[in-house]
């Protein structure tokens, strides 16, 4: 299997403080990979480094065989690497449908193909269909999360980077949102890098995982192996 994303010895710093201290990680085509770890471990910074919002001070990121060092975040987005940031960031004063339209106007799709895609997104997230004429600020946290993901899917990404999609959601909704992502990946061959504090949930929906502590990867493996790993169980699964 070829890798859609490869990270080698990546170092990311804020001023003099290194938040990511030389990590190696990859995502194969069609794989769902999770990066788990406690608060402040460097997970969000890793995602920001991948899309170029934080410039690497060492190492490399390769997307679909292409080094990203000279590429801007918007170029990467146009070529299929899309980040759904923590805290969602939908346009609060627009309706659900308008939010999707804004994303659509930035995509290459037009006419019938676009209508089909929007129909498909409402199929994946029926709650959005029910609330399509509601202003986005009136949505629940989970619905806003679905809208943020729906907007990202309109860009027809090859690699979706998701930062804490379960944040602020009830356990039931969090499970639903994460399982929807993993099902979409299976059905459409989408590659996903999922950052989560809820390790149990993330591992249940992923093929592989990495565990991050203070800027370093301290464990990696198949989701099943990590779920069985004593250290991981003790530190992250509460058992
Ligand atoms: P969380 O789950 O709490 O979001 P995280 O694993 O995503 O945690 P990061 O947000 O990547 O962690 O933070 C890693 C380290 O970098 C932390 O020590 C944090 O305080 C620091 N950091 C993050 N953003 C900045 C910033 N803009 N300026 C300075 N330091 C930062």
Contacts 24+ apart (CB under 8 A), 113-118: 117/153, 117/154, 117/156, 118/154
pLDDT, position 62: 97
Of 29-43, 145-159, 160-174, highest mean pLDDT: 29-43
Count the helix, strand and coil residues of the chain and give each as a percent rounded to the nearest 5: 40, 30, 30
Ligand 1 atom showing the smallest separation from residue 15 Cα:
29
Find the mean pLDDT for residues 121-144.
90
pLDDT, position 88: 65
Question: Which residues lie below 8 Å from residue 153, measured CB to CB, with a gap of 6+?
Answer: 117, 121, 124, 160, 184
- In CATH, the architecture of 3-88+157-237 is 3-Layer(aba) Sandwich (3.40)
The residue whose CA is least distant from atom 26 of ligand 1 is 14
Mutate to test the pocket of ligand 1, among 10, 12, 40 (most ligand atoms within 8 A of CB): 40
pLDDT at 180 over 70: yes
Which is it for strands 191-196 and 32-37: parallel, antiparallel or unpaired?
A: parallel
Angle at 80 between CA 153 and CA 151, to 5 degrees: 20
pLDDT at 239 over 70: no
Contact 159, 4 (CB under 8 A): yes
Q: Which class for 22: exposed (0-12), middle (13-18), buried (19 or more C-beta within 10 A)? A: middle
pLDDT, position 176: 85
Mutate to test the pocket of ligand 1, among 10, 15, 19, 49 (most ligand atoms within 8 A of CB): 19
Q: What is the dihedral of CA 97, 154, 205, 171, to 10 degrees?
A: -20
pLDDT tens digits for range 192-233? 999 988 899 999 999 999 999 999 999 999 999 999 998 889
Find the mean pLDDT for residues 83-93.
81
pLDDT tens digits for range 157-179? 999 999 998 887 788 888 888 88
Ligand 1 atom showing the smallest separation from residue 17 Cα:
30
pLDDT at 108 over 90: no
Which DSSP category does 210 fall into? E
Find the mean pLDDT for residues 132-160.
89
pLDDT at 26 over 90: yes
pLDDT at 1 over 80: no
Measured from the Cβ of residue 143, the count of other Cβ atoms closer than 10 Å reads 23
pLDDT averaged over the chain?
Answer: 91
Domain ranges of the chain: 3-88+157-237
Positive or negative, the Cα torsion across 224, 226, 232, 237? negative
The residue whose CA is least distant from atom 19 of ligand 1 is 40
pLDDT at 75 over 70: yes
Q: Tell me, what's the ipTM?
A: 0.93
Ligand 1 atom showing the smallest separation from residue 42 Cα:
11
Q: 49 alpha carbon to ligand 1 midpoint, in Å?
A: 12
H or E element at residue 164: none
Question: Which residues lie below 8 Å from residue 78, measured CB to CB, with a gap of 6+?
Answer: none
Q: 190 alpha carbon to ligand 1 midpoint, in Å?
A: 27
Which residues, listed in sequence order, are joined to residue 62 by a DSSP beta bridge?
Answer: 6, 67
User: How many Å apart are CA 236 and CA 198, to the nearest integer?
Assistant: 8
User: Any idea which residue has 């959005």 for tokens?
Assistant: 128
pTM higher than 0.95: no
Which is it for strands 58-63 and 17-28: parallel, antiparallel or unpaired?
A: unpaired
């Amino acid at each position: 299997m070829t890798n859609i994303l490869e990270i080698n010895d990546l170092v990311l710093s804020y001023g003099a403080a290194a938040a990511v201290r030389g990590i190696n990680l990859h995502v194969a085509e069609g794989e769902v990979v999770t990066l788990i770890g406690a608060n402040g471990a460097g997970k969000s910074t890793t995602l920001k480094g991948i899309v170029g919002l934080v410039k690497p001070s060492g190492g490399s990121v390769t997307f679909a065989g292409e080094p990203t060092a000279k590429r801007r975040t918007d170029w990467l987005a146009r070529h299929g690497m899309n980040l759904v940031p923590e805290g969602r960031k939908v346009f609060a004063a627009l309706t659900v449908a308008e939010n999707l339209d804004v994303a659509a106007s930035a995509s290459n799709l037009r006419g019938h193909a676009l209508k089909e895609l929007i129909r498909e997104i409402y199929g994946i997230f029926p709650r959005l269909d029910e609330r399509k004429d509601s202003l986005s600020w009136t949505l629940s946290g989970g619905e806003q999360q679905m809208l943020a993901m729906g907007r990202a899917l309109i860009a027809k990404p090859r690699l979706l980077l998701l930062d804490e999609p379960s944040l602020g959601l009830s356990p039931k909704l969090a499970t639903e949102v994460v399982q929807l992502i993993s099902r979409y990946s299976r059905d459409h061959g989408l590659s996903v890098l999922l950052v989560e504090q809820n390790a149990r949930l993330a591992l249940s929906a992923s093929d592989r995982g990495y565990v991050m502590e203070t800027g370093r990867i301290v464990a990696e493996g198949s989701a099943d192996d990590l779920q069985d790993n004593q250290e991981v169980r003790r530190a992250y699964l509460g058992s």
